Amino acid sequence: MAGPVLEMRSIVKTFPGVKALSDVTLTVRQGEVHAICGENGAGKSTLMKVLSGVHPHGTYEGDILFEGEVVRFKDIRASEQHGIVIIHQELALSPYLSLAENIFLGNEHARGGFIDWRETLRHATELLRRVGLQDHPETRVADIGVGKQQLVEIAKALSKKVKLLILDEPTAALNDEDSDKLLNLILELKNQGITSIIISHKLNEIRKVADSVTIIRDGRSIETLDVKAEETTEDRIISGMVGRDLDHRFPERTPHEAEEGAAPALEIRNWTVHHPIDQQRKVVDDVSISVRRGEIVGIAGLMGAGRTELAMSVFGRTYGRYAGGTVLKDGVEIRTKSVAEAVDHGIAYVTEDRKHYGLNLIDTINRNISLTALKKVAKRGVVDEQAERQVSEGFRKSMNIKAPTVFEPVGKLSGGNQQKVVLSKWIFAGPDVLILDEPTRGIDVGAKYEIYTVIDQLAAQGKAVVFISSELPELLGMCDRIYTMSAGRLTGEVPRSEATQEVLMRQMTKDKAPTDNAKDEEVTR
């Protein structure tokens, strides 16, 4: 077995009022893929920032040994000179520069003070091919997808003669196909002798690529497991992450029984929306769905199926060009031409992109939560700061938002805690209908369970919930009914009692909704 390439010994990192890391120890062997797991806020990213020099030597306690020698990095450039390169969850690429310019930014091929463009393009082409990209090196980053951008980041790391590659949630924003490409590339780099550390909440991905996994909980290293060992199951890893066994990944739920004769809380009829640029293309095509009070209704579909486009276009027509259809609330047609109209009618939308559309990252928990219903904490048009603080403190405790005070900037919170703030602000608005778009994306299993519990409680209070997710197990675990979509069209409706991953996948890959005869035939089979 290869010896250690990296040792981090008794690392302690403190921020004002918070001890983020407490006596953390990590050992990574030469040539392995080493995973780091833990709940949001456990200290995983902080540990990697210590390693990479983002938090420089002198701001933490403990020792770092790389290739057998003690290293003290004063900044990120110092760690890169040793061959340690970190790729953060938020990619550090300039969208308006070319792939080649991004790869060598700060590390340019220059002669006599001038960039050698021929050498730059030649070397960039080699690196792009090495990570599996055929794009021309002069292509702008803005003109390629997120999956390819992640590969460009790895090409950039390879240009720095990387020995230890650190990837922080590398597949969080990727679809399944792009995720597989990235994971296969990590394995290929392993074959080339490059050691990797991967932070991920996706346990199936860890089992695919990792050799070892270190579990961090509440700022402490708990244990390191051999991923290939028979006893290292997903449940075993989860138990280490949350400090207890999770007998159930979802709250116990009794399927909702609709009240006889009651109109749906929300009904969408024959909804059609065209693409905002290509206005001949329908992104939502004649879709009709409904959800009753106390019911959780799922929407399943592959990437590009039109789930988010449906949600955003209904919620204030914030996506695409409306082409037809009606929205009914409790049996009465309503207007939702703007976000304000949708909110006034008791509809809330939790976006899949919390960092860009769901939160003001530079403002506090306090302000983010009150933002959707300022009238509730205002007197004569002026915000009552004491009332605002009482509200946000109440949510901080009830939602278990891990932060020292409600005046903590939201941008400093972990992903799971940010998501709890998003849910809190919409719950404070007092909606009757909540449309949740990928509400657990990028968060760990412990935080997921807490959010599932909140959603279940909202349904028990009589709220109507639309639950959009790419993860079929959570749709199966949470929903009373599940609609399926493909290419903008509704292709099926499956009750909880008949729903399996196979049934949903079959419906998600259909071209169009089945006829009544086809539905009968499906049930008979």
Domain boundaries, the chain: 4-242, 266-346+431-524, 361-429
Instruction: List the one residue out of 174, 230, 225, 244 whose CA is nearest residue 202.
Output: 174
**Backbone torsion region of residue 355, taken as left when φ is above 0, otherwise alpha when ψ lies between -120 and 50, otherwise beta:** alpha
CB 452, CB 478: distance < 8 Å? yes
Confidence (pLDDT) at 202: 80
Q: Which amino acid is at 323?
A: A
Q: Is 243 helix (H, G, I), strand (E, B) or coil?
A: coil
Structure tokens at 333: 């047609």
* Longest CA–CA separation in the chain, Å: 81
The reply to whether domains 4-242 and 266-346+431-524 share a CATH topology is yes
Assigned fold of 266-346+431-524 = Rossmann fold (3.40.50)
Strands 282-291 and 296-301: unpaired
Task: Check residue 519 and give its pLDDT.
Answer: 43
* 522 class by beta-carbon count within 10 Å (0-12 exposed, 13-18 middle, 19+ buried): middle
The CATH class, in words, for 4-242 is: alpha beta
Q: Which two tokens stand for residue 77?
A: 């450039």
Instruction: Determine the pLDDT at residue 257.
Output: 65
Residues of the chain with pLDDT under 50: 513-525
Can you state the percent helix, strand and coil of the chain, rounding each to 5? 35, 25, 35
Residue 515 confidence (pLDDT): 46
Per the structure block, which two tokens stand in for 31?
């040539």
* Tokens coding 190: 């392993």
Q: What is the pLDDT of residue 246?
A: 53
Contact 273, 319 (CB under 8 A): yes
> Given this model, what pLDDT does residue 281 score?
87
Cα dihedral 272, 274, 279, 282 sign: negative
What is d(CA 351, CA 255) in angstroms, rounded to the nearest whole number? Answer: 26
Cα–Cα nearest to 236, from 23, 8, 445, 477: 445
Which pTM value belongs to this model?
0.65
* Whether 263 contacts 254, CB under 8 Å: no
Sorted by sequence, the CB contacts under 8 Å of residue 318 that are 6+ apart come out as 312, 339
Q: Count of CB atoms within 10 A of residue 230's CB?
A: 6
Would you state the pLDDT for residue 283?
Answer: 92
Please report the pLDDT score of residue 517 as a whole number.
Answer: 44
Match 């020995």 to its residue by tokens: 163
The residues near 241 (Cβ < 8 Å, ≥ 6 apart) are: 37, 38, 39, 42, 215, 217, 444, 445, 446
